């Protein structure tokens, strides 16, 4: 059963389980699971890496999908992640040029604009450090493929469990913890959910404190 945080006739906000594809495709994808669970059509409007989990919104009608897609620049997306090591500064902004190699499904930081290269920007804040790792909160300014993963990895602090970018094996520590966006009716909606699971256990106390602050 997929946890549903909110739904109405236009959209559904849910928690994506790690390991489930957020878009339509082969196998038990999240859109397919939601169609079966909710008994309605489901239209993806944004993506979340298969290995990541957390808050996502899906449209229930094509009209709502168009409205949400058109408002994507107004979405506020925040994430929690655990990185190996510690970012050089306790907080800051990363700006890079990213190239996504579709054949290898991998993104790279490059030095100049050329075909396929896109600007990427995020801001971050280190929340805690422990045992050679750091709990970090991230706000995305752009939504590039594997953006958080490659921007931190390129600075020597890959996400824990992100084998594709040098973070080692195991579950990847990336979670969509907060999502705010305009409903097609114009009302702003905001949702938060904090992660659970073995990969987050080292920072369980800090995550619990975040939950108290949210309340």
What are the residue numbers of the active site? Answer: 49
The residues with which 118 forms a beta bridge, in sequence order, are 98
Spell out the residues 6+ positions from residue 49 whose beta carbon is closer than 8 angstroms to its own: 22, 146, 149, 172, 174
* DSSP-derived secondary structure letter, 197: S
* H or E segment to which residue 196 belongs: none
User: How buried is 190 (Cβ within 10 angstroms: 0-12 exposed, 13-18 middle, 19+ buried)?
Assistant: exposed
CB atoms within 10 A of CB 38: 16
Dihedral, 62, 55, 179, 5 alpha carbons, nearest 10: 80
Two tokens at 184?
Answer: 């097609």
How distant, in Å, are the alpha carbons of 93, 108, 125, 126 from that of 88?
11, 20, 11, 10
CB atoms within 10 A of CB 171: 17
């Amino acid at each position: 059963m997929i946890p549903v945080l909110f739904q109405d006739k236009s959209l559904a906000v849910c928690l994506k389980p790690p390991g489930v594809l957020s878009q339509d495709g082969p196998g038990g994808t999240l859109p397919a699971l939601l169609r079966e669970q909710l008994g309605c059509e489901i239209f993806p409007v944004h993506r979340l890496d298969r290995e990541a989990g957390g808050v996502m919104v899906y449209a229930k009608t094509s009209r709502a999908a168009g409205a949400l897609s058109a408002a994507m620049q107004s979405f506020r997306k925040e994430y929690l992640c655990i990185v190996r090591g510690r970012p050089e500064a306790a907080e800051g902004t990363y700006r890079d040029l990213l190239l996504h190699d579709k054949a290898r499904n991998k993104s790279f930081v490059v030095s100049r604009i050329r075909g396929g290269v896109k600007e990427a920007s995020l801001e971050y804040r280190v929340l805690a450090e422990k045992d050679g790792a750091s709990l970090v909160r991230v706000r995305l300014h752009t939504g590039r493929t594997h953006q958080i993963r490659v921007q931190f990895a390129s600075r020597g602090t890959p996400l824990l469990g992100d084998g594709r970018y040098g973070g080692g094996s195991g579950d990847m520590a990336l979670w969509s913890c907060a999502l705010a966006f305009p409903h097609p009716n114009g009302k702003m909606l905001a949702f938060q959910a904090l992660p659970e699971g073995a990969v987050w256990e080292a920072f369980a106390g800090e995550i619990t404190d975040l939950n108290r602050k949210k309340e």
